[in-house]
Structure 1
């Protein structure tokens, strides 16, 4: 099982349908898509800054931002199967389909360690990958990523969230961070191309 997190910044990008076509055509039975929050989450940040309300409400609103983007992905490619739990994810993959996760289960009634902006959809995708014993995590970003940077440095640069580096250090699977233009590399990874497996 692979977790592929599509950054919310792809929500209006012309390349998005190509990513969805690739993940449904080659990822069936293996890939679960986690959606970022994108402009939906940006609006949560803006409203929270305007009204100065707490992180619990903002967290729940940001989860719904991820849900909105997930529904958008399904609308653009109905081959993606909507799921709301780990059990549903496993059932969809068992049927040879590609899953997209609606993370309603992340909504909270009280503040916890991760109900703040230090943990965004990157860490959420990594946490899901750990809980599902995934074989690989792929983050797809709109920004170029320097392959020489450590995960900690990527967090300092704002490319991944600040909690991600701590979680990643304990991950038992490879983590790939791809630029949105690297469809060819993603295709090769899915096909098991040894040139990319070694990276």
Structure 2
């Protein structure tokens, strides 16, 4: 089982449809797609800055921003199967399809160390990968990636969120941070592995 997180900066990118096609054609039975918030999350940041609402309120709005992007992805490629729970995810993968995660379960009534902008969809995708004992986590970005940098250094540069490096310590699976032009590389990785086994 793989988690592939597509950054919200790809929401209007010309390669987006190619990525979605790859994940449905080669990721069936294996891939769970997690979406970044993109412009929807930027609108949350703007609203919080304007109205000074709490981080908890902004967190819950940002979760909805991720869901909006997921609905966008589904609209572009209806072969992606919307899922709301772990049970949904397992059902979709067992059917040989690609799961598209709606993260509504992450909405919170109380603030915590995870309900702020230090933890974004990158770390949320990592949390999902850890909880599902994933084989691999792939983060797809629209910016250039220096392959010599550690995950913590990528956090310092703002390519992944600030908490990602620490949260990834001890992960039992490879984590790839790739540029969106590396569709072929990820295709080769996907074709090199098997299908979902519970």
TM-score, normalised via structure 1 length = 0.96
**Partner Cα separation in structure 1 for residue 164 and residue 170 of structure 2:** 10
- What residue number does 1:35 align with? 35
Structure 2: tracts of 5 or more residues without a match: 194-198
**Partner Cα separation in structure 2 for residue 112 and residue 19 of structure 1:** 34
- 1:168-183 matches, within 5 Å, as 168-183=168-183
- What residue number does 2:62 align with? 62
1:161 and 2:173 aligned = no
**Partner Cα separation in structure 2 for residue 13 and residue 86 of structure 1:** 29
- 1:43-122 matches, within 5 Å, as 43-122=43-122
> Following TM superposition, by how much is the alpha carbon of 1:119 offset from its aligned partner in structure 2, in angstroms?
0.3
**Partner Cα separation in structure 2 for residue 75 and residue 133 of structure 1:** 29
**Partner Cα separation in structure 2 for residue 164 and residue 9 of structure 1:** 18
**Partner Cα separation in structure 1 for residue 22 and residue 181 of structure 2:** 13
- The Cα RMSD (Å) is 0.8
The total of aligned residue pairs comes to: 193
Structure 1 residue runs of 4 or more that deviate by more than 3 Å after TM superposition = none
**Partner Cα separation in structure 1 for residue 48 and residue 72 of structure 2:** 24
- What residue number does 2:196 align with? none
TM-score, normalised via structure 2 length = 0.96
**Partner Cα separation in structure 1 for residue 177 and residue 91 of structure 2:** 27
**Partner Cα separation in structure 2 for residue 170 and residue 40 of structure 1:** 32
- What residue number does 1:192 align with? 192
User: Which digits, 9 at most, give the CA deviation of each residue in 1:11-40, with x for residues without a partner?
Assistant: 011110100000000000000000000000
> Following TM superposition, by how much is the alpha carbon of 1:42 offset from its aligned partner in structure 2, in angstroms?
0.5
